[in-house]
């Protein structure tokens, strides 16, 4: 059985579970689904001429319940703008959104990059990207290697962050009053009238200054023999790119280290902070969620390197949605994110600061990485 066949059977099993059916009762439907996956000719479930509800799926980069709460203002804005109820949901894992879009159970999806590339590989005729995310002026991001053990650092950790300069991860330093000049919002900083300022939050009734993020240079060889917290196998920055970087450094990511999956980027940072492991990987800067309750996370969880550039997230829609609906979805998102309320909401969801029209060729580099990883081997 090919991987496409397995994926369709997975889709079917989820649908049957929801409907209370058994696999034995649905043998004919299973066979048809597998044949459909092999040809990839049949469209997804046809959208009714009159839409009465649109579903918008999100991958669980943060804790499910918190993310579900955070997306509700966006759902209300989309519902008002489209004149159609828009219902948001958060999948239990990264592959869940691929399944939902491929089976026609979701109309819009906020994909991580690898998830979108995987979805296109499995269902090339069923979805299309309408927007690529921009974060603080950058169309790309990285996976970050973290540690809580400063003894592995080549020198003492400093206020700073990593940026790829001519393809080389380079430590850019900041200070207590000036953030490092990198293309990502770092933990410990907020927006002031005259630029970035140290962030002060109210925690347990007291005003607390959030620690800026610390970083140090360290060799990836320090991970050998250690437990390393990953997000999950469907994560671009929390698994695929870091694993390839380890491979290119001569480290077997399956046998030279012990992989532990935290389930989310927030889970990686929380696990490191709580002492579950000394090393982990996630997107940059995933410490920003935990700083809401633990303002010293930027000092305790230290960046020790980054991966190659990764194209930012994607908003994809079903290809059979009406063209005017697709255009309205893009415009509503673009307009909303330009407002103060929208900027705050989208920052809480995934750290989005803008969107631009998506160009599929931009994601070829991720497909190549997935192929190098052997993800699409039969």
User: pLDDT tens-digit profile of 70-109?
Assistant: 999 999 999 999 999 999 999 988 889 999 999 999 999 9
| Those residues with Cβ within 8 angstroms of residue 101's Cβ, 6 or more apart along the chain or in another chain | 57, 109, 119, 123, 126, 127, 316, 318
Average pLDDT, the chain: 86
Confidence of residue 230 (pLDDT cuts 50, 70, 90): very high
Q: pLDDT digit string (tens) for 140-174?
A: 999 999 999 999 999 999 999 999 999 899 999 99
Beta strand 53-58 pairing with 85-90: parallel
pTM over 0.85: no
Q: What is the pLDDT of residue 84?
A: 95
Q: What is the pLDDT of residue 60?
A: 84
| Those residues with Cβ within 8 angstroms of residue 372's Cβ, 6 or more apart along the chain or in another chain | 244
Give percent of the chain above pLDDT 90: 72
> What span, in angstroms and rounded, lies between the C-alpha atoms of 230 and 71?
25
Pick the range with the lowest mean pLDDT from 40-49, 235-244, 256-265: 40-49
Q: Is the pLDDT reported for residue 12 higher than 90?
A: no
Ranked by mean pLDDT, the top range of 15-24, 57-66, 99-108, 222-231 is 222-231
The residue that leads in pLDDT, 46 or 119, is 119
Q: Which two tokens stand for residue 111?
A: 């994909």
Q: pLDDT digit string (tens) for 356-377?
A: 999 889 999 999 999 988 888 7
Q: What is the pLDDT of residue 190?
A: 83
Confidence of residue 40 (pLDDT cuts 50, 70, 90): very low
Q: What is the pLDDT of residue 73?
A: 96
CB atoms closer than 10 angstroms to residue 43: 14
Q: What fold characterizes domain 140-311?
A: D-Maltodextrin-Binding Protein; domain 2 (3.40.190)
Q: What is the pLDDT of residue 32?
A: 36
Ranked by mean pLDDT, the top range of 59-63, 192-196, 267-271 is 267-271
Q: Which CATH number fits domain 45-137+312-372: 3.40.190.10, 1.10.287.3510, 3.40.50.300, 1.10.1240.10?
A: 3.40.190.10
Confidence of residue 47 (pLDDT cuts 50, 70, 90): very low
Q: What is the pLDDT of residue 159?
A: 97
Q: pLDDT digit string (tens) for 240-277?
A: 999 999 999 999 999 999 999 999 999 999 999 999 99
Confidence of residue 378 (pLDDT cuts 50, 70, 90): low
Do 45-137+312-372 and 140-311 show the same overall fold? yes
Q: Is the pLDDT reported for residue 208 higher than 90?
A: yes
Q: pLDDT digit string (tens) for 281-291?
A: 999 899 998 99
Q: What is the pLDDT of residue 50?
A: 57
Q: What is the pLDDT of residue 196?
A: 84
Give the domain ranges of the chain: 1-42, 45-137+312-372, 140-311
Over residues 293-319, mean pLDDT? 96
């Amino acid at each position: 059985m090919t991987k496409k066949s397995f994926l369709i059977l997975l889709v079917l099993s989820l649908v049957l579970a929801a409907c209370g059916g058994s696999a034995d009762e649905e043998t004919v439907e299973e066979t048809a689904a597998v044949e459909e996956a092999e040809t990839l000719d049949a469209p997804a479930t046809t959208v009714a001429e009159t839409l009465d509800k649109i579903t918008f799926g999100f991958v669980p980069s943060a804790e499910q319940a918190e993310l579900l709460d955070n997306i509700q203002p966006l759902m209300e804005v989309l519902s008002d703008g489209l004149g159609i109820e828009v219902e948001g949901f958060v999948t239990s894992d990264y592959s869940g959104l691929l399944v939902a879009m491929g089976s026609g159970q979701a109309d819009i999806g906020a994909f991580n990059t690898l998830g979108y590339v995987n979805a296109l590989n499995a269902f090339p005729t069923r979805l299309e990207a309408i927007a690529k995310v921009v974060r603080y002026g950058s169309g790309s991001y990285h996976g970050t290697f973290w540690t809580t053990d400063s003894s592995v650092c080549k020198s003492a950790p400093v206020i700073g962050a990593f940026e790829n300069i001519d393809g080389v991860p380079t430590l850019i330093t900041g200070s207590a009053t000036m953030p490092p000049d990198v293309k990502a919002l770092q933990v410990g900083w907020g927006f002031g009238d005259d630029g970035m300022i140290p962030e002060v939050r109210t925690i347990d009734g007291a005003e607390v200054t959030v620690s800026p993020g610390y970083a140090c240079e360290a060799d990836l060889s320090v991970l050998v023999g250690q437990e390393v917290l990953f997000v999950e196998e469907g994560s671009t920055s929390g698994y695929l790119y870091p694993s390839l970087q380890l491979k290119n450094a001569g480290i077997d990511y399956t046998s030279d280290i012990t992989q532990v999956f935290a389930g989310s980027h927030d889970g990686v940072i929380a696990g490191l902070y709580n002492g579950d492991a000394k090393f982990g990987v996630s997107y940059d800067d995933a410490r920003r969620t935990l700083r809401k309750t633990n303002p010293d996370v930027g000092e305790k969880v230290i960046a020790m390197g980054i991966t190659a550039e990764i194209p930012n997230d994607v908003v994809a829609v079903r290809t059979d949605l009406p063209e005017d609906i697709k255009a309205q979805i893009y415009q509503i998102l673009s307009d909303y994110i330009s407002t103060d309320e929208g900027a705050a909401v989208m920052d809480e969801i995934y750290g989005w600061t803008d969107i631009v029209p998506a160009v599929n060729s931009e994601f070829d580099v991720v497909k190549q990485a997935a192929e190098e990883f052997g993800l699409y081997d039969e």
